[in-house]
Structure 1
Amino acid sequence: MKCVFRYEIKKILFTPAILSVVLLCLIFNMALIGIYDDDNPVQSDSQAVNIFEGFDAGDIAEGFIAKYHVTGSNADHIRGKYAKLQPIIDEKAVNGDSLSDYFRERTYSLHRLLFNTIFLAITAESSLLALFAALVSITYEQTQGTEYVVYSSKVGRHILRCKFCASLLAAICSTAMILVATLVVFFAKFDFSKVWGDNVSSSFNFAAYSYTIPFVTWHSFTVGEYLGVVISAAVVLASCFCLMGYTIGLFVPNSYGACIGALLAVVLPFLVKPLFSMGSISLSILNLMPTNLVLNSGQWFTDGNAGIIWANFETIGLVISFAVLGLTSGAAVRIFRKREFL
């Protein structure tokens, strides 16, 4: 089985399509970094202030409610989330989390560039590559016309375990490749060495909707710690997409059908979002799905927005997604092994 595992790894990682996509992703990420003009950073004598002292989280809730015209129980859901956030804000005020300088006036633009723009790209790319890697592995025999030869024996069907492990390792490797290459170039251009210990909830940082609110996280993070948890979440999310591709590839016997199924699984959770009201439980559940976790990556570990009514939504979403997809993939394997290959 070790030989099979090594063969599966090579087959996935050195597939021309996979290599081409990785290269295109890196070129795209380098372009995102390159087009940002930071030649003349703003210099200022402004000082950080304790913006959390006396701050009422209810004001954020009412701002969202007014913006989206939310009423009834949905409005209560939003108010309930921010009522739970108030003790966190009070603690931040006591600890002086907002007194870090970070990058001063450059904080908002550089923070958004890294954690919204760059990490949205990295997370989306690594997740889709993980999905694609699993599909390539699980549908390979079908596309080569060797499915009936390989899976006609009991021993042959046990290579599914090797395929899963190889797909997961390939997903982690491709994620690491994109992460490392992109971040090395990013930090070579933007010097973060003096801000790793600063708090991400600096008064110079904020979340912008139609109005600005403080950048509030459910836990206190330095810039370095926040980068670490975001990277960890991105890797777990890529693993979820790998499980998704593996499961779809097993359930759908046709390779083209599997690709269409994967496309629908990725696109539909995003397309149906406008059908649900802000502050509703339905929309919040939808935002826990892998696709929407990718799109909301810039809000991980924060209070989120009006479409998210639970604290630590990214952790909840990752745990549920991994558990559900893991159980579903297990069921898919059992069903697949019972198929007749004559």
Structure 2
Amino acid sequence: MSPTLPLELQLHILELALPPLIRRNLDERVRLCKAFSLVHRDWTKTAQRELHEHITVTCWQLDSFILAARDRILAAHGGGWSVKRLDARLRGTGGAIILLEEGQGVEWSAIEEMWVNMDEGDFAELGADGLRRLHIYDVWRRGLLGFLHALPTRLTYLGLHNVSLRDWSAVRLPALEVLILDLVADPLPWATLIPSHVKLRVLACRCNFPRIDTDTLANMPQLHHFIAVFDTTYRAADLWPALFDAPDPHSPPVRLPQRLQTFTCLATKYDPLPDDQSGLTSLKIACEELGTVLAVRLDLTNHEVRVFDLEEWAHSVGV
């Protein structure tokens, strides 16, 4: 008889076999967990826990969304599970406001992470007090005005996708550690986006985003990981002239935060860079002095830039 691995090791292998816990993998995780639960009864409990820890609800009507989410959460609670993640995909809710609050045996406060798609309506009130990670996707690239008084101040992770930042000056997120700016509009100065009291550790940007100067990142002393994704090197020169524009002998060298561990820059090669890339040379020197891992690729295709997943990148650096 062949030896059998200890159950704890089997379950650990199962957990490692699941794809990363990011939005685009949620359906695949569900499929695999359902398959695992049918293999052996010893695996069922672990698979069910994974199945019930997150739910995805897609609805056209506000009432339908609330009822569907509530039914799913109650079903999980009935089995002794706690829902930690909610993927809310709203379609045409007509300006409705969703209020998630305690009551009727539904523990909204247990939800730690939410992905929210906004279409014609708004998702404005977030009463899930335990929320720490929030991803907002806006089809119409509107502002955050409806969210300003509703964003939990204890958020540590915020991903903004296709969102206008024109109302950001009223946002107060003192605990924020991870910020993703993905195709945002109306960018504000970095000092407004990330005040000095915010201890940001991870910053991911895909253009458009505020212009970066030689000392922009150095003013984020707690930053550990940074990535910038540009659709073209022309856009890179516009948003980060210190690195990609024609060399200026009078410009100061690039300065980086002392704790920076990784620096990644991606772009398509649409326009030729200057022969003397003194900015990139300055960046390489700064990374070598700090021991920062530098990855620069300026030869991606348009498709590669478009489908690059910033949430997956953030997961890869441990957040």
Which TM-score applies when normalising by structure 1? 0.18
Which TM-score applies when normalising by structure 2? 0.19
* Greater RCO, 1 or 2 (C-alpha within 8 Å, sep 6+): 1
Higher helix share: 1
Higher strand share: 2
